Amino acid sequence: LAMALVMLLPTACARRSQDLHCGACRALVDELEWEISQVDPRKTIQMGSFRINPDGSQSVVEVPYARSEAHLTELLERVCEKMKEYGEKVDPSTHRKSYVRVISHDGTKMDLSGVKIDEDVSSSLKFACESIAEEYEDELIEFLSHEAENIKDRLCSKRTDLCDHALHIPHDEL
């Protein structure tokens, strides 16, 4: 029996790590998309060179601030703090862990039945979020700088393989 447990332990730990990193990636994208949606769409930022060209013109263009590289970089520096607002939910049939918001953005009451909320969960999720934000910063900026569909699936499953087990799970369950 002890030998069987020793053989199953690495599998359980690997799955926990995969569930954690997948959940952190998906929560990170959710939080970034929410933050982007909160910026006034009329707000712009000047991009390009501020040098004067030989003909007297400048190569400066105004782009929407919400999806600008400057804004996205700023968001990536602080967004993982939001992982404190997440809890862990275990699927009773598959025993896979997912991470759900326990504090809504708009203050509405949330169904927290079966959600584990504790310091260990939020600190593990925050650490995983920070590693993903650092390791995949360029990909995150690339995907989020353009309005695109299914960023979570495209980034967390296809580009990074952090959620390769989740490709068959419907969106509303993640």
Query: How far from the centroid of its chain's Cα atoms is residue 33's Cα?
Result: 9
Whole-model pTM?
A: 0.79
- Reading phi first (left if > 0) and then psi (alpha if -120 to 50, else beta), residue 48 is in left
Backbone angles phi, psi at 90, to 5 degrees: -110, 125
- Ranges of the chain whose pLDDT falls below 70: 1-16, 49-50, 165-174
- At 43 the pLDDT is 92
Question: CA Rg, the chain, in Å?
Answer: 20
- Whether the Cβ atoms of residue 33 and residue 151 lie closer than 8 Å to each other: yes
